[in-house]
Structure 1
Amino acid sequence: MSQTPESREQAIARLQKSASELETRTASQISQELAGQKAAGQAWKIIADLFGGVLVGLAIGFGVDHFAGTSPVGILSGVLLGFALSVWMAWRTARRIQAEAIKAGVQPQAVPFDDDEEEDA
């Protein structure tokens, strides 16, 4: 049984359809990878905000202690103020990311509670 040879136009149409399907699959995979990279970058920014605030508060507190001679008070107050500032900055960044996601049409979902930890013990 020989197959009927397809016309040139049919072959071109078939190849174009295959190419467009491949392009669609590839584009969705690339967009998912980019979304994952963007989320990881945003998570690192929040972590940097948390550590940076504490370290800056520690440095300022150390400077105050060094020049004012108030040995542990400056470092302690600097670390506490730096921690409070870093939590506020991380909260602000998370709110901005959430607003961008909602604007893009992504609905936030609650993470389900996991009881598996208690069962394993």
Structure 2
Amino acid sequence: MAQPDEPRDEAIRRLDERADALAARTARATPDYGATAASYGYRLIGVLLGGVLVGLGFGFAIDAIAKTAPWGMIVGVLAGFAVSTWMAVRTAQRMTAEAAREWGPVRDLPVDDADEED
């Protein structure tokens, strides 16, 4: 509390410092959405490329064993692409549920009137 002989400006400065300290203690930390979203994107790319490469490997192995020239690799790449697409969709659904649990419901961006033309 301010002392009677204390200058008014000093009391206001101390009150501002206390208000800033209270705001710092009660402020919620902003989560780093960018890094998390980037990691989700890299994970999806890994799933997509991994499926195609595994299919290519299996197709090459089948070609080497069965002597079926390019057909094993063609079928392997197509099958790998199909499986990796299915896995990417499932992974994206799981990531969406995880993000909704962690970040809460989706919020709309505020309307920016400066961008609208009349």
The TM-score, its normalising length taken from structure 1, stands at: 0.69
Cα RMSD after superposing both structures:
2.7
Task: Answer 1 or 2: which has greater helix percent.
Answer: 1
Q: What one-letter code is carried by the residue in structure 2 that aligns with 1:6?
A: A
Confirm or deny: 8 A CA contact 1:46 1:94 kept in the other structure.
yes
The residue aligned with 1:37 is: 35
Which is greater in Rg?
A: 2
State percent identity of aligned pairs: 40
Tell me the TM-score normalised to structure 2 length.
0.71
Structure 2, unaligned runs of 5 or more: 1-5, 109-118
User: Equivalent residues in 2 for 1:1-121 (5 A)?
Assistant: 3-4=7-8, 5-6=10-11, 11=14, 14-22=16-24, 24=27, 27-28=29-30, 31=31, 34-104=32-102, 105-107=104-106
Give deviations 1:61-113, integer Å, cap 9, x for gaps: 0011012111111101100110001101100111001112333422387xxxx
Give structure 1 regions of 4+ aligned residues with deviation exceeding 3 angstroms.
Answer: none
Matched to 2:18, the amino acid is Q
Secondary structure of 2:46's partner? helix
Q: How many residues align?
A: 100
In structure 1, distance between residues paired with 2:19 and 2:11: 15
